[in-house]
Amino acid sequence: MDELRWQSYTACMISESALLGALRRYWGFNSFRPLQKSIVQSLAGGRDTCVVMPTGGGKSLCYQLPAALLERQTAIVISPLIALMQDQVAQLGQMGISAALLNSSLQANEQSRIMRGASEGAYRLLYLSPERLARADTVAWLKSIPISFFAIDEAHCISEWGHEFRPEYRQLSSLRAHFPDRPIAAFTASATQRVRHDIVEQLRLRNAHKCIASFHRPNLRYVVKQCDARTQSSLLQKALRSYADRNVIVYVPTIARVEETVSFLEEQGISAIGYHGKMGADARRRNQERWMSDEVRVLVGTLAFGLGINKAAVRAVIHLALPKSIEQFYQEAGRGGRDGLPADCVLLWQKRDAALLSYFIGQIADAAEKKRAWQRYDEIRGFVDSKMCRHLQICTHFGENPKWKSCGACDVCGSEPDWLSLRPKAEPAAARRAAVPSVGQSARGTPQSAGKAGGTSADGAELREILREWRRVAAKQQGVPAFVVMHDTSLDELCRARPASLSALLRVHGFGERKVELYGEQIIAELARFREMANTRRR
């Protein structure tokens, strides 16, 4: 039986047109991002695969698409956060791909319903937490399921050398022994050579197809500035005023600083919400949703926020303390500009952060762990102190060897956001905002000018508000976050393209067949109503 199954994989070379067809049909996307196609083919062909791709590169699709195509089989996806798995299952549902999440917070009867379904091969993807997979009864049960492959998301959590080590991930190293003939694929956005090696070793990957994308994110501008507490607050204020109406993440090191920063900003009349690991699950989810649905633009969080967060249009990520490592900085900062448009990644650090970090490292009892922590500390100190291009430093850190020496998009190379430079503004903000680049443009402009595409005309801004309101209501009815109904990029494109028919809507980015089926009539009706309204006014 196992022998037969194995053969069915190796025989499974999916044609390019079938891949593109699925991309169109389910996702509503026109083309693959770099490396996606070869990763999908590798997985569909049953090969162990190790993927290192920056945040926002599109890793989820790399395992979701082959899973969708391997009919009557189920891909088992391991991911560290329940909230994240819930979002993915909801999104897959909206795309017409059958998926479920099995976790202990579900009612017993709900769990057995899902398990029964899985045994019958009802799901293309089944999400599990690493703890769940470690249970002997889960392993025994999984052996009766037609598994297509295992996908380990955020795989760097398995390595002590990584900055997000999770002991539960260690147990994944027995996966190979339990399922010797199932392909295993590992995905991470954050891996130095050492961590990569660890992932391959621990998961016992065999002759793995290794796909390593470049870590260079040309649409990000890295800016590092050392300051004192006073300057830091005033810069933060200036920054948030200048990114008004845009999504911003502010990272702070402690829970106390989350609360402090939120109230400071509220006092200044800037609305912000907090997010940290000690919040109740409900409050956390509520806050995350308020931010996801653009209700509040500024989110202040500890690093608990963001692992795999799927919000594409973030225009700035501001760190108010020195991160523990370059990897941590890179990953958190990388949550900006996932839509490919310009975003600022600003690190405003204080001398005392360094002192605090060294103090905590001094407290680490385990000698090996302490050594690793010091190494990470030295690297991040080197990063902020260095006079070398920030982009170049990051690429070098991840083992790349870029040809260029200067980027034009970092403080060292002489690029800074207006709010940081002392020079008076050369032109009024309104004039700058008028220059809105089209979505998909990846060259750098000022982040202030990117953002609300379709908001150039008063009429576009109004339509955007109407569609956002429609999205809010639709999301509420379905009990899913707003971005699951439709991403901001799709919203912007709707405002530009204003499709008048279902077939025209199918051509809009992010609208696959299922989504058009679900919402097409409503959206076309909203757009028609809007046109009608605009015509009446004109008359």
Minimal distance, residue 256 CB to ligand ADP, in Å: 29
Residue 349 vs 511, nearer CB to ligand ADP: 511
Residue 309 vs 316, nearer CB to ligand ADP: 309
Residue 32's binding partner, choosing from Mg ion, ligand ADP, Zn ion, none, with beta-carbon cut-off 5 to 8 A by kind? ligand ADP
Is the CA virtual torsion 107, 108, 114, 118 positive or negative?
Answer: positive
Minimal distance, residue 358 CB to Mg ion, in Å: 32
Distances (CA, A) of 384 to 54, 377, 396, 482: 21, 11, 14, 37
What is the rounded CA–CA span in Å between residue 50 and residue 193?
12
200 and 166 Cβ atoms separated by less than 8 Å:
no
Q: What are the φ and ψ backbone dihedral angles of 340, each rounded to 5 degrees?
A: 90, -10
The b/e string for 284-313 (b: 16+ C-beta within 10 A; e otherwise) is: bbebbbbbbbbeebbbbbbbebbbbbbbbb
Among the listed residues 68, 220, 252, 413, the single contact to Zn ion using CB under 5 A:
413
Residue 514's binding partner, choosing from Zn ion, Mg ion, ligand ADP, none, with beta-carbon cut-off 5 to 8 A by kind? none
Minimal distance, residue 420 CB to Zn ion, in Å: 15
Residue 43 vs 413, nearer CB to Zn ion: 413
Three-class secondary structure of residue 99 per DSSP = strand
What is the rounded CA–CA span in Å between residue 201 and residue 176?
11
Q: Nearest residue by C-beta to ligand ADP?
A: 58
Residue 35 vs 357, nearer CB to ligand ADP: 35
Residue 54 vs 308, nearer CB to Mg ion: 308
Minimal distance, residue 454 CB to Zn ion, in Å: 32
Q: Please state the length of the chain.
A: 539
Alpha helix positions (H), 75-107: 82-95
Residue 57's binding partner, choosing from Mg ion, Zn ion, ligand ADP, none, with beta-carbon cut-off 5 to 8 A by kind? ligand ADP
Residue 158's binding partner, choosing from Zn ion, ligand ADP, Mg ion, none, with beta-carbon cut-off 5 to 8 A by kind? none
Minimal distance, residue 383 CB to Zn ion, in Å: 12
Minimal distance, residue 390 CB to Zn ion, in Å: 5
Among the listed residues 78, 142, 184, 389, the single contact to Zn ion using CB under 5 A:
389
Where do contacts with ligand ADP occur on this chain (CB under 6 A)? 29, 32-33, 36, 53, 55-61, 189, 310, 312, 338, 487
Measured in whole angstroms, how far is the alpha carbon of residue 179 from the centre of its chain?
29
What is the rounded CA–CA span in Å between residue 311 and residue 522?
24
What is the rounded CA–CA span in Å between residue 61 and residue 37?
10
What is the rounded CA–CA span in Å between residue 45 and residue 10?
5
Residue 487's binding partner, choosing from Mg ion, Zn ion, ligand ADP, none, with beta-carbon cut-off 5 to 8 A by kind? ligand ADP
Among the listed residues 211, 407, 482, 527, the single contact to Zn ion using CB under 5 A:
407
Among the listed residues 56, 253, 308, 460, the single contact to Mg ion using CB under 5 A:
308
Q: Does 505 bind Zn ion (CB under 5 A)?
A: no
Task: Tell how many helices (H) and how many strands (E) occur in the chain.
Answer: 24, 13
Is the backbone of residue 294 left (phi > 0), alpha (psi -120 to 50) or beta? Answer: left
What is the rounded CA–CA span in Å between residue 326 and residue 306?
16
Part in contact with Zn ion (CB under 5 A); list of ranges 127-135, 184-192, 351-359, 399-407? 399-407
Helix (H) or strand (E) holding 51: strand 49-52
Minimal distance, residue 510 CB to Mg ion, in Å: 17
What is the rounded CA–CA span in Å between residue 528 and residue 202?
56
Residue 39 vs 236, nearer CB to ligand ADP: 39
Residue 56 vs 66, nearer CB to ligand ADP: 56
Binding residues vs Mg ion (CB under 5 A): 59, 308
Binding residues vs Zn ion (CB under 5 A): 389, 391, 407, 410, 413
